[in-house]
Structure 1
């Protein structure tokens, strides 16, 4: 059982990371192509609407995805009831957002917003129909199917958006991209799940699941509010064009990062939930997860920081050059938040919804204070505040978690220290080497800076502790690539 679970976790990570890698490539293609067909103003408009959509999505899910996956047992009747709850909330939010279009237009003073809201409100209904089908796939560890759905949705949506943009649809191309993705996800999830819900029945109580979900809703609202403070502040204080620059840097870095980290929860949550009563195994899984995320994502992130200038020039073009320092700062923030990300999995897997909510209040206030303070120093100041916040919150996260549940705190701090030492060196070397050939152009900077940074990471293998980390990661990779033997 132990080896089977480890193998399932590794294979789940393999399919999830593979899918997210494909989605990141598609995201980059979207940025490269659409940024040349659309304007910063177009992206500023979609950013405003998606802020509202994001708030509604928290209520639409109602924490029931995590509740369904985390539950030790889940009857068919409970699963049916959860489907109708999510679908009903999605339908209600569709209607609410439709009628909010005019008030939103009055606040933003952007008349294009009305039509965009009227169409994008359909995302609530689409996602509501898909929620429990996706949760059921995750609970059954069917990560290959989920990966296929996600990649297909991203590819088809990008194709639709590019065609629309080429036909002169302007910001409507971005609306079409969102809706196409939603339709493909719901259709794919229903077909893969091979499950049609029966009607709601009071005989199958979901009260406990709703209680857990409510704490997750409250937590996610705080997290989302904290994540949108910068977007709202930039839009109101500096206008749609600076918001478009800021949003493009965010989409170029933080969206792919989120596409990797967040779906990994679907792998980590069912696995950690199954071993939560085995302290030694639980600690080993958590520390291994931190190393995998820290090294696996940290090295690419700091390379983006060191090479942000040529990356922006190549991917977005010269008119987006002001986004380069913002991109570099986002990459540092992404590294710091990634190191602490396993703590979120621990809260969920052990059912610590209320404790997660209380902790999130503190970190949201920290983030708000940093971003508001930074806004007095312009657009770059906002990005600096965005980066300082996780630097303050990260050590607090482990301390807070260790107060409410057993944690391998010392091992996690030591692992994080090793990750930071290596990644900082990689980023500095990549920047320094690339700067020596800056007069040659963007591609030479990238082509010399990238290998210089990677060679720096390899050089750390001189130290035994880094060789042990590599050996542990390699063991996990072998599990990912190994097929589960069939049983009779």
Structure 2
């Protein structure tokens, strides 16, 4: 929650200090060169977390591989900086690209230290470091912006945030890599990571083609507008999903050989995901106008319809995280890659077609494909891992979407009917009405009431499982 507060503060403060074009310049660069970060990672952090047994020598080899890839890609990004600037016809993007190259080197160094903390279930240390990083990055950005640094403030924010999040885990992980060893094979992890990399690369292209298309067709100001609105929608999705997934993945990976228990824990994790993320996004849709006004300011009023469309896509993206847990925890990353080979091209086509109607059309293309792809992905995950019981997961997800959508519609109508001029009062009214509707729903809908009770027990059950799994994993490493 502290990290979410920092992200909201970052959005609210920096949009008042910088122009939309400043955000557009940095977004246009990261949309292109960000693929290098996936190559640097190559799925090896997730492979280290998912592996049933990970020896010290294997961990050392993974560190050196990630670090070497990070160094190589930093050099590559430095070399292609002129090409990025030429693509957009914006010469100032060349120095921006060169400065962002250091991010890949830093992330390559810190990747396995972060994976080690996650594998050892040291979630508190991760949470603290990943809160300090954005806070330090925001402080650096504000300092540069107040000196008239424009888009350099955003470059400083990325570099400082990455430095803290990369170096911090090395200081608290409790191990330091030794020399690489040929005797310690990491081939199974490379196979897992290679398939995961393919999936992540396709997902990355799908998630960033909208920014590239807008930057090419409408310029940096429009790209900056879209980027800020997208970040506002992505904030609860990424900031709440990350800690939930960080707990779910190592726990599910360790009980995958016990199908009934695996299915039960998966449903319990889904309950937490649904009843945290979906209401947050639904409330955002209900009070879209006041929320955009409060966070982004009066000058961003044209972003409200874009925000509303992106929220719809965000809901289905959020409920789709469960099938990602299934693929990753079971090691079926090859199946996940094949799924994305089918679905991601459709996403790209939808965005390209939507761009004919401008930024709003791009947002509509994103939302439509997110809605249509969710049932396909869930069916595919159920076929790959039958013990996941995809049918039950679908029923639970649809019940949550229907419940929170109905409450959001009532809250939205109440805000419109009230016609209040004050954005704070409008947002508060929407939140109050939605909470009242949900309280009434809990009173009259037994299934919804059971879901809420399941969230409470899920936290306790997952926590206990995590403790037992952590002790077993450390025993295996000693052996």
For 2:425, the equivalent position in structure 1 comes to: 444
Counterparts of 1:82-481 in structure 2, within 5 Å, are 82-406=62-386, 407-461=388-442, 462-477=444-459
Q: Distance in 1 between matches of 2:39 and 2:344?
A: 18
Q: Distance in 2 between matches of 1:277 and 1:326?
A: 44
For 1:10, the equivalent position in structure 2 comes to: none
Contact between 1:27 and 1:256, CA under 8 Å: does it hold in 2? no
For 2:476, the equivalent position in structure 1 comes to: none
Q: Distance in 2 between matches of 1:342 and 1:439?
A: 39
The alignment partner of 2:185 has SS state of coil
Q: Distance in 2 between matches of 1:297 and 1:266?
A: 15
Matching of residue 37 in structure 1 with residue 9 in structure 2: no
Contact between 1:40 and 1:245, CA under 8 Å: does it hold in 2? yes
Contact between 1:366 and 1:393, CA under 8 Å: does it hold in 2? no
Contact between 2:269 and 2:458, CA under 8 Å: does it hold in 1? no
C-alpha RMSD of matched pairs (Å): 1.8
Using structure 1 for the length normalisation, give the TM-score.
Answer: 0.92
For 1:11, the equivalent position in structure 2 comes to: none
Q: Deviations over 1:75-99 (max 9, x none)?
A: 1111000000000000000000001
Q: Deviations over 1:383-431 (max 9, x none)?
A: 1111111111111112111222212122112101211111111210121
Q: Deviations over 1:290-349 (max 9, x none)?
A: 221112110110111111111111111111111111111111111111112110011011
How far did residue 477 of structure 1 move? 4.3
For 1:72, the equivalent position in structure 2 comes to: 52
Q: Distance in 1 between matches of 2:55 and 2:326?
A: 24
Q: Distance in 1 between matches of 2:129 and 2:421?
A: 42
Bigger CA drift: 294-303 or 49-58? 49-58
How far did residue 479 of structure 1 move? 5.9
Q: Distance in 2 between matches of 1:480 and 1:29?
A: 31
Q: Distance in 2 between matches of 1:219 and 1:347?
A: 11
Contact between 1:437 and 1:444, CA under 8 Å: does it hold in 2? no
Q: Deviations over 1:111-155 (max 9, x none)?
A: 221111111100000000000001111111111111111011111
Q: Where does the alignment leave 5 or more consecutive residues of structure 1 unmatched?
A: 1-20
Q: Distance in 1 between matches of 2:30 and 2:270?
A: 30
Q: Distance in 2 between matches of 1:400 and 1:141?
A: 29
For 2:477, the equivalent position in structure 1 comes to: none
How far did residue 244 of structure 1 move? 1.0
The alignment partner of 1:249 has SS state of helix
Q: Deviations over 1:227-261 (max 9, x none)?
A: 11111111111111111111110111114422221
Using structure 2 for the length normalisation, give the TM-score.
Answer: 0.94
Q: Distance in 2 between matches of 1:123 and 1:109?
A: 24
Contact between 2:126 and 2:169, CA under 8 Å: does it hold in 1? yes
Contact between 1:31 and 1:315, CA under 8 Å: does it hold in 2? yes
